[in-house]
Amino acid sequence: MKLLFLLLFCVSLFSQTKTTPNPPNLLLLNIYTKDTNVTGWYMSEKLDGVRAYWDGKQLVSRQGVLLNPPAFFTKEFPTTELDGELWSKRGDFANVSSIVNTQESKDGWKNLTYKVFEVPHVTGGLLERLATLKESKYIQRIPQIKIKNRAHLEEFLKSVEAKGGEGVVVRDESLEYYTGRNNNALKVKSYIDEECEVVGYTQGEGKYKGMTGSLLCKTQQNKRIKIGTGLSDMQRENPPKIGSMITFKYYGLTSKGNPRFPVFMRERN
Protein backbone atom coordinates (compact mmCIF):
# COMPACT_ATOMS: atom_id res chain seq x y z
CA MET A 1 0.00 0.00 0.00
CA LYS A 2 2.81 2.42 0.87
CA LEU A 3 4.55 1.64 -2.40
CA LEU A 4 1.34 2.28 -4.35
CA PHE A 5 0.81 5.61 -2.55
CA LEU A 6 4.39 6.69 -3.31
CA LEU A 7 3.96 5.76 -6.98
CA LEU A 8 0.72 7.71 -7.27
CA PHE A 9 2.32 10.72 -5.55
CA CYS A 10 5.27 10.71 -7.96
CA VAL A 11 2.96 10.42 -10.99
CA SER A 12 0.86 13.31 -9.65
CA LEU A 13 3.95 15.46 -9.04
CA PHE A 14 5.32 14.76 -12.51
CA SER A 15 2.00 15.57 -14.16
CA GLN A 16 1.98 19.02 -12.53
CA THR A 17 5.24 20.00 -14.21
CA LYS A 18 4.57 20.80 -17.85
CA THR A 19 7.31 21.65 -20.29
CA THR A 20 7.41 23.07 -23.78
CA PRO A 21 9.14 21.00 -26.49
CA ASN A 22 11.11 24.08 -27.53
CA PRO A 23 12.73 25.93 -24.59
CA PRO A 24 13.24 29.64 -25.32
CA ASN A 25 16.42 30.71 -27.07
CA LEU A 26 17.67 33.43 -24.73
CA LEU A 27 20.20 36.22 -24.46
CA LEU A 28 23.06 35.08 -22.19
CA LEU A 29 25.79 37.04 -20.41
CA ASN A 30 29.56 36.78 -20.57
CA ILE A 31 31.82 37.99 -17.75
CA TYR A 32 33.10 41.57 -17.75
CA THR A 33 36.83 42.27 -17.56
CA LYS A 34 38.40 45.65 -16.89
CA ASP A 35 40.07 45.77 -20.29
CA THR A 36 36.62 45.98 -21.93
CA ASN A 37 35.66 49.53 -22.90
CA VAL A 38 31.97 49.92 -22.04
CA THR A 39 31.79 53.73 -22.11
CA GLY A 40 28.55 54.70 -23.84
CA TRP A 41 26.93 51.35 -23.10
CA TYR A 42 24.02 51.00 -20.65
CA MET A 43 24.08 49.42 -17.22
CA SER A 44 21.37 48.05 -14.96
CA GLU A 45 21.18 46.14 -11.70
CA LYS A 46 21.40 42.36 -12.12
CA LEU A 47 18.36 41.11 -10.26
CA ASP A 48 18.63 37.83 -8.38
CA GLY A 49 15.21 36.50 -9.35
CA VAL A 50 13.80 33.68 -11.46
CA ARG A 51 14.40 34.11 -15.21
CA ALA A 52 11.16 33.86 -17.16
CA TYR A 53 10.25 34.29 -20.82
CA TRP A 54 6.80 35.56 -21.81
CA ASP A 55 5.96 34.06 -25.20
CA GLY A 56 2.87 36.20 -25.66
CA LYS A 57 0.58 33.72 -23.94
CA GLN A 58 2.41 32.13 -21.02
CA LEU A 59 5.50 32.38 -18.82
CA VAL A 60 8.23 29.82 -19.50
CA SER A 61 11.36 29.13 -17.46
CA ARG A 62 14.83 29.08 -18.98
CA GLN A 63 14.65 25.27 -19.05
CA GLY A 64 11.28 25.30 -20.83
CA VAL A 65 9.07 24.60 -17.81
CA LEU A 66 5.65 26.23 -18.09
CA LEU A 67 5.06 28.39 -15.03
CA ASN A 68 1.67 28.78 -13.37
CA PRO A 69 1.03 32.43 -12.48
CA PRO A 70 -2.52 33.37 -11.46
CA ALA A 71 -4.65 35.21 -14.02
CA PHE A 72 -4.44 38.53 -12.15
CA PHE A 73 -0.65 38.56 -12.53
CA THR A 74 -0.56 38.30 -16.34
CA LYS A 75 -3.86 40.08 -17.01
CA GLU A 76 -2.14 43.18 -18.47
CA PHE A 77 0.75 41.38 -20.16
CA PRO A 78 1.06 42.10 -23.92
CA THR A 79 0.73 39.61 -26.76
CA THR A 80 4.35 40.35 -27.72
CA GLU A 81 7.29 38.40 -26.29
CA LEU A 82 9.24 39.60 -23.23
CA ASP A 83 12.30 38.48 -21.28
CA GLY A 84 12.91 39.30 -17.63
CA GLU A 85 13.09 38.27 -13.99
CA LEU A 86 10.33 37.37 -11.56
CA TRP A 87 11.48 39.34 -8.53
CA SER A 88 10.41 40.67 -5.15
CA LYS A 89 13.39 42.26 -3.39
CA ARG A 90 17.12 41.82 -2.93
CA GLY A 91 18.21 38.69 -1.09
CA ASP A 92 14.83 36.96 -1.56
CA PHE A 93 15.71 34.40 -4.22
CA ALA A 94 14.67 31.34 -2.18
CA ASN A 95 11.24 32.80 -1.50
CA VAL A 96 10.70 33.85 -5.13
CA SER A 97 11.77 30.41 -6.33
CA SER A 98 9.36 28.74 -3.90
CA ILE A 99 6.45 30.88 -5.10
CA VAL A 100 7.21 30.37 -8.78
CA ASN A 101 7.80 26.62 -8.54
CA THR A 102 4.78 25.79 -6.38
CA GLN A 103 2.06 24.99 -8.87
CA GLU A 104 -0.81 25.86 -6.55
CA SER A 105 0.70 29.07 -5.15
CA LYS A 106 -1.50 32.11 -5.76
CA ASP A 107 -1.21 34.71 -3.00
CA GLY A 108 2.60 34.68 -3.17
CA TRP A 109 2.49 36.10 -6.69
CA LYS A 110 1.00 39.32 -5.28
CA ASN A 111 4.49 40.09 -3.91
CA LEU A 112 6.25 39.53 -7.24
CA THR A 113 6.93 41.79 -10.21
CA TYR A 114 8.04 40.83 -13.69
CA LYS A 115 11.11 43.00 -14.27
CA VAL A 116 11.71 43.23 -18.03
CA PHE A 117 15.15 43.76 -19.55
CA GLU A 118 14.37 42.76 -23.14
CA VAL A 119 11.55 42.95 -25.71
CA PRO A 120 12.55 40.33 -28.30
CA HIS A 121 11.91 40.50 -32.01
CA VAL A 122 11.28 44.25 -32.06
CA THR A 123 13.47 46.38 -34.33
CA GLY A 124 15.78 49.08 -32.99
CA GLY A 125 18.29 49.34 -30.17
CA LEU A 126 17.70 48.23 -26.59
CA LEU A 127 16.09 51.48 -25.41
CA GLU A 128 13.79 51.57 -28.43
CA ARG A 129 12.69 48.01 -27.77
CA LEU A 130 12.07 48.63 -24.07
CA ALA A 131 10.11 51.81 -24.88
CA THR A 132 7.45 49.68 -26.59
CA LEU A 133 6.57 48.03 -23.27
CA LYS A 134 3.53 49.37 -21.44
CA GLU A 135 4.18 49.09 -17.70
CA SER A 136 1.56 48.06 -15.14
CA LYS A 137 1.37 46.88 -11.53
CA TYR A 138 3.04 43.53 -12.17
CA ILE A 139 5.22 44.36 -15.16
CA GLN A 140 8.01 46.95 -15.17
CA ARG A 141 11.18 47.80 -17.08
CA ILE A 142 14.55 47.47 -15.37
CA PRO A 143 16.04 51.01 -15.43
CA GLN A 144 18.95 51.46 -17.84
CA ILE A 145 21.74 53.99 -17.11
CA LYS A 146 24.23 55.26 -19.69
CA ILE A 147 27.84 54.60 -18.63
CA LYS A 148 30.06 57.68 -18.54
CA ASN A 149 33.32 55.82 -17.93
CA ARG A 150 34.75 52.88 -15.98
CA ALA A 151 34.72 54.85 -12.70
CA HIS A 152 31.00 55.47 -13.19
CA LEU A 153 30.42 51.72 -13.64
CA GLU A 154 32.49 50.83 -10.56
CA GLU A 155 30.65 53.41 -8.47
CA PHE A 156 27.30 51.99 -9.57
CA LEU A 157 28.46 48.43 -8.82
CA LYS A 158 29.51 49.43 -5.29
CA SER A 159 26.15 51.10 -4.66
CA VAL A 160 24.26 48.01 -5.85
CA GLU A 161 26.32 45.60 -3.74
CA ALA A 162 26.06 47.90 -0.70
CA LYS A 163 22.28 47.51 -0.91
CA GLY A 164 22.57 43.73 -1.04
CA GLY A 165 22.31 43.47 -4.83
CA GLU A 166 23.99 40.74 -6.85
CA GLY A 167 25.80 42.83 -9.46
CA VAL A 168 25.40 44.81 -12.67
CA VAL A 169 24.64 44.02 -16.31
CA VAL A 170 26.24 46.13 -19.07
CA ARG A 171 25.03 46.02 -22.68
CA ASP A 172 25.78 47.65 -26.01
CA GLU A 173 22.48 49.49 -26.48
CA SER A 174 22.98 50.11 -30.20
CA LEU A 175 22.57 46.49 -31.30
CA GLU A 176 19.44 44.85 -32.64
CA TYR A 177 17.98 41.99 -30.62
CA TYR A 178 20.00 38.78 -30.62
CA THR A 179 20.23 35.58 -28.60
CA GLY A 180 23.11 33.50 -27.31
CA ARG A 181 26.28 34.60 -25.57
CA ASN A 182 28.83 37.18 -26.76
CA ASN A 183 30.84 40.14 -25.44
CA ASN A 184 28.12 42.74 -26.08
CA ALA A 185 26.23 41.78 -22.90
CA LEU A 186 28.27 41.26 -19.73
CA LYS A 187 27.73 40.67 -16.03
CA VAL A 188 29.84 42.72 -13.63
CA LYS A 189 30.51 41.58 -10.06
CA SER A 190 33.21 42.01 -7.45
CA TYR A 191 33.28 38.22 -7.19
CA ILE A 192 32.91 35.26 -9.55
CA ASP A 193 30.00 32.85 -9.29
CA GLU A 194 29.35 29.49 -10.88
CA GLU A 195 27.56 26.24 -10.25
CA CYS A 196 28.82 22.94 -8.85
CA GLU A 197 27.36 19.55 -7.99
CA VAL A 198 27.01 18.39 -4.38
CA VAL A 199 28.78 15.04 -4.02
CA GLY A 200 29.06 14.71 -0.22
CA TYR A 201 29.29 16.37 3.19
CA THR A 202 31.61 16.80 6.14
CA GLN A 203 30.37 16.59 9.72
CA GLY A 204 30.09 19.80 11.69
CA GLU A 205 32.14 20.48 14.79
CA GLY A 206 31.66 22.71 17.83
CA LYS A 207 28.32 24.55 17.64
CA TYR A 208 27.60 22.70 14.37
CA LYS A 209 28.06 19.24 15.88
CA GLY A 210 25.37 16.92 14.53
CA MET A 211 24.88 19.12 11.47
CA THR A 212 26.60 19.54 8.13
CA GLY A 213 29.97 21.24 8.38
CA SER A 214 30.70 21.68 4.68
CA LEU A 215 29.39 20.67 1.29
CA LEU A 216 31.75 18.61 -0.85
CA CYS A 217 31.29 19.67 -4.46
CA LYS A 218 32.50 18.93 -7.97
CA THR A 219 33.01 22.03 -10.11
CA GLN A 220 32.41 22.42 -13.83
CA GLN A 221 36.20 22.03 -14.23
CA ASN A 222 35.91 18.66 -12.44
CA LYS A 223 37.73 19.93 -9.32
CA ARG A 224 36.65 18.82 -5.83
CA ILE A 225 36.11 21.67 -3.37
CA LYS A 226 34.74 22.14 0.12
CA ILE A 227 32.15 24.87 0.81
CA GLY A 228 31.37 25.62 4.45
CA THR A 229 30.81 29.37 4.49
CA GLY A 230 27.41 30.85 3.68
CA LEU A 231 25.24 28.01 4.98
CA SER A 232 22.49 28.92 7.45
CA ASP A 233 21.74 26.72 10.46
CA MET A 234 18.61 25.47 8.68
CA GLN A 235 20.66 24.56 5.61
CA ARG A 236 23.19 22.77 7.79
CA GLU A 237 20.36 20.69 9.27
CA ASN A 238 18.82 20.06 5.84
CA PRO A 239 21.62 20.49 3.28
CA PRO A 240 21.13 20.34 -0.50
CA LYS A 241 20.81 16.72 -1.59
CA ILE A 242 23.68 14.84 -3.18
CA GLY A 243 23.44 15.31 -6.92
CA SER A 244 21.80 18.73 -6.67
CA MET A 245 23.35 21.85 -8.21
CA ILE A 246 24.26 24.86 -6.11
CA THR A 247 25.59 28.31 -6.92
CA PHE A 248 28.66 29.51 -5.05
CA LYS A 249 30.86 32.58 -5.29
CA TYR A 250 34.61 32.94 -4.94
CA TYR A 251 37.34 35.54 -5.19
CA GLY A 252 39.87 34.44 -7.79
CA LEU A 253 41.88 31.22 -7.93
CA THR A 254 44.58 29.71 -5.73
CA SER A 255 48.01 28.74 -7.09
CA LYS A 256 46.56 25.25 -7.70
CA GLY A 257 43.68 26.68 -9.73
CA ASN A 258 41.02 26.09 -7.09
CA PRO A 259 38.34 28.70 -6.24
CA ARG A 260 39.59 31.01 -3.48
CA PHE A 261 37.28 31.49 -0.45
CA PRO A 262 34.21 29.70 -1.88
CA VAL A 263 30.91 30.77 -0.33
CA PHE A 264 27.53 29.03 -0.70
CA MET A 265 24.88 31.26 -2.29
CA ARG A 266 21.84 29.14 -3.15
CA GLU A 267 20.55 25.83 -4.45
CA ARG A 268 19.48 25.95 -8.09
CA ASN A 269 16.22 24.42 -9.23
CA distance 171 to 233: 38
Confirm if 258 and 233 have CB atoms less than 8 A apart: no
Angstrom CA distances, 36 to 17, 147, 156, 246, stand at: 41, 13, 17, 29
Name the β-bridge partners of 204: none
Catalytic residue among 34, 46, 158, 223: 46
Residue by residue, what is the 3-state secondary structure of 73-113?
Answer: HHCCCCCCCEEEEEECCCCCHHHHHHHHHCCCCCHHHHHCE
89 is catalytic: no
Label residues 215-250 b or e (16+ Cβ within 10 Å = b). Answer: bbbebeeeeebebbeebeeebbeebbeeeeebebbb
Confirm if 46 and 176 have CB atoms less than 8 A apart: no
Handedness of CA 100, 237, 246, 191 (dihedral sign): positive
CA distance 132 to 153: 26
| Pick from 51, 159, 33: nearest CA to 97 | 51
Catalytic residues: 46
